[in-house]
């Protein structure tokens, strides 16, 4: 498991920074920008009953490139000449206070950032920003030493951020601004517990440009893309990952004879017995490429879960034999139909799918109890979001990764490979 987590972090860093390195090949050092930020956020879910403070500071340092009309990149033109950066951050979550002996670590993140100005003038800019990266957690959950830390049970996690910003141009080199962002940290159910961190907050930042800001270069609407051909495209994708089952955790944490009884912390022996189960998927997507940046369509997904025996055994403990007998059964195969969207930057794509299951038999589905025990995996709909990198010179093959979730609760982190026809 530790080796897999290290591989995930390394691959995440490579993919996240691919757009930055691509820009580096076409930009000079004088187009670099250096940014620093202080950001204050608060955990919005407040899941820990003994937590007394929820706010924390995050400090960011980023190095990036300002795209501009001179480099001739049509994607940069269509996105309004964004700033693309790679950054590091330290989230001071060790400042959380608890009524018991729970301890929280500081989190260290390496991420890529995409910043687009929707409104730009000589003196100020307004826009949005997306971050995606990998996080190191030095103080993970331990059932004996740190049982209260039920958010973070793996040393490496995924990080996602999204928000809006406003900034002032102070002369031709300096900028100052403020932003409001959502920040999310999760291990993608590689290990349990995984309540994750969901924070909202705001920050102030300063940026220095190594070349002059010339508003005249950016004003005016983007021109129509020239090198572009509309049409259908078809993708065949094979994916896989590992997943720890929430029901297997819950069979230790909850007393099925008294559903109102608070959850307990599984013992060290019980937690050590939880296994990560392989999951696989096969997807067929049909998308229409109607713009240089966008393609939309539908997809059919087939998912295979390898832990049906373990899930049934857990359900018998949680719900009883009668509930299991009355359930639709335990099939390792699920079928989904999804609306699919891809957003492109050169050969890199953001892949998003929102789907529903016409066929899915995952045992007992008691919405009230499942909600209480945070077992959203049995719901009727799902989401997938991640990145893909296409290799046009290798027959339009691609590799990627994504988080599959239910009601924005991670099921597993999936790595994939496929071909575009």
Give yes or no for a contact between 305 and 299, defined as CB atoms under 8 angstroms apart.
no
DSSP state of 293: S
pLDDT in tens, the chain (421 residues): 444 444 444 444 544 444 444 444 444 444 899 999 999 999 877 656 677 777 899 999 999 998 887 776 888 888 988 999 999 999 998 888 777 777 788 999 999 999 999 998 889 999 999 999 999 998 877 777 777 777 777 888 899 999 999 999 998 899 999 999 999 998 888 877 777 788 999 999 999 999 888 777 777 655 666 667 789 999 999 999 998 888 887 877 766 566 566 666 677 677 767 788 999 999 999 999 999 999 999 999 999 999 999 889 888 888 888 888 998 899 999 999 999 999 999 999 999 999 999 999 988 876 666 666 666 677 789 999 999 999 999 999 999 999 998 887 888 899 999 999 9
Give yes or no for a contact between 20 and 63, defined as CB atoms under 8 angstroms apart.
no
d(C-alpha 343, C-alpha 282), whole Å:
21
Q: Measuring CA to CA, how many Å separate 53 from each of 43, 56, 97, 193, 229?
A: 9, 9, 5, 21, 54
The per-residue pLDDT for 223 is 64
User: What is the fold, at CATH topology level, of the domain defined by 231-420?
Assistant: Porin (2.40.160)
CATH 2.40.160.20 fits 2-217, yes or no: yes
Nearest in space to 388 (alpha carbons), one of 421, 409, 419, 356: 419
Kindly report the backbone phi and psi dihedral angles of residue 276, in degrees, each rounded to the nearest multiple of 5, phi listed first: -90, 120
d(C-alpha 46, C-alpha 121), whole Å:
40
Tally: H helices and E strands in the chain: 8, 16
Q: Measuring CA to CA, how many Å separate 195 from each of 97, 105, 148?
A: 18, 15, 11
Q: Which residue has the tokens 């597993």?
A: 412
The per-residue pLDDT for 26 is 42
Pairing of strands 348-359, 397-406: unpaired
Give yes or no for a contact between 284 and 300, defined as CB atoms under 8 angstroms apart.
yes
Kindly report the backbone phi and psi dihedral angles of residue 123, in degrees, each rounded to the nearest multiple of 5, phi listed first: -115, -20
Q: Which residue has the tokens 């919005």?
A: 44
Residues 6+ apart with CB under 8 A from 35: 60, 61, 62, 63, 64, 85, 87, 205, 206, 207, 208
Nearest in space to 110 (alpha carbons), one of 11, 13, 200, 243: 13
Structure tokens of 128?
Answer: 């949005």
The per-residue pLDDT for 149 is 74
d(C-alpha 121, C-alpha 218), whole Å:
9
Give yes or no for a contact between 58 and 89, defined as CB atoms under 8 angstroms apart.
yes
pTM: 0.83
d(C-alpha 94, C-alpha 78), whole Å:
42
The per-residue pLDDT for 220 is 62
Give yes or no for a contact between 125 and 119, defined as CB atoms under 8 angstroms apart.
yes
Q: What residue spans define the domains of the chain?
A: 2-217, 231-420
Nearest in space to 336 (alpha carbons), one of 352, 351, 354: 354
The per-residue pLDDT for 27 is 47
The per-residue pLDDT for 367 is 65
The per-residue pLDDT for 406 is 87
The per-residue pLDDT for 350 is 95
Same fold flag, 2-217 and 231-420: yes
């Amino acid at each position: 498991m530790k080796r897999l987590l290290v591989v995930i972090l390394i691959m995440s860093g490579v993919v996240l920074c691919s757009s930055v390195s691509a820009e580096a090949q076409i930009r000079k050092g004088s187009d670099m920008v250096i940014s620093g930020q202080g950001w204050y956020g608060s955990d919005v879910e407040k899941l820990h009953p003994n937590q007394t403070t929820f706010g924390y500071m995050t400090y960011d340092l980023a190095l990036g490139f300002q795209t501009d009309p001179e480099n001739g990149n049509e994607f940069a033109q269509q996105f309004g000449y964004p700033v693309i950066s790679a950054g590091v951050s330290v989230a001071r979550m060790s400042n959380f206070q608890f009524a018991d002996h729970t301890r929280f670590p500081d989190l260290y993140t390496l991420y890529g950032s995409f910043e687009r100005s929707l409104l730009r003038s000589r003196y100020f800019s307004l826009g949005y920003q997306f971050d995606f990266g990998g996080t190191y957690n030095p103080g993970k959950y331990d059932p004996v030493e740190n049982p209260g830390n039920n958010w973070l049970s793996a040393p490496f996690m995924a990080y996602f951020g999204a928000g809006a910003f406003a900034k002032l141009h102070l002369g031709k080199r300096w900028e100052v601004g403020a932003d409001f962002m959502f920040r999310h940290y999760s291990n993608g159910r590689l290990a349990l517990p995984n309540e994750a961190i969901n924070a909202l907050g705001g920050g102030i930042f300063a940026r220095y440009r190594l070349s002059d800001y010339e508003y005249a270069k950016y004003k005016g609407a983007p021109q129509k893309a020239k090198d572009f051909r509309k049409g259908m495209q078809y993708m065949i994708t094979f994916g896989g990952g590992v997943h720890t089952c929430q029901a297997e955790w819950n069979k230790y944490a909850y007393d099925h004879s008294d559903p109102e009884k608070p959850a307990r912390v599984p013992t060290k022996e019980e937690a050590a017995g939880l296994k990560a189960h392989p999951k696989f998927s096969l997807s067929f997507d049909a998308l229409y490429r109607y713009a240089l940046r966008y393609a939309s369509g539908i997809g059919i997904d087939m998912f295979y879960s390898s832990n049906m025996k373990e899930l049934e055994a857990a359900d018998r403990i949680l719900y009883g034999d009668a509930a299991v007998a009355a359930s639709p059964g335990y099939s390792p195969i699920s079928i989904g139909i999804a609306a699919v969207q891809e957003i492109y930057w050169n050969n890199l794509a953001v892949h998003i799918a929102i789907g529903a299951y016409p066929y899915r038999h995952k045992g007992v589905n008691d919405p009230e109890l499942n909600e209480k025990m945070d077992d959203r995996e049995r719901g009727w709909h799902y989401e997938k979001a991640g990145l893909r990198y296409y290799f046009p010179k290798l027959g339009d093959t691609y590799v990627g990764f994504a988080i599959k979730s239910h009601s924005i609760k991670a099921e597993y982190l999936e790595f994939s490979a496929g071909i575009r026809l």
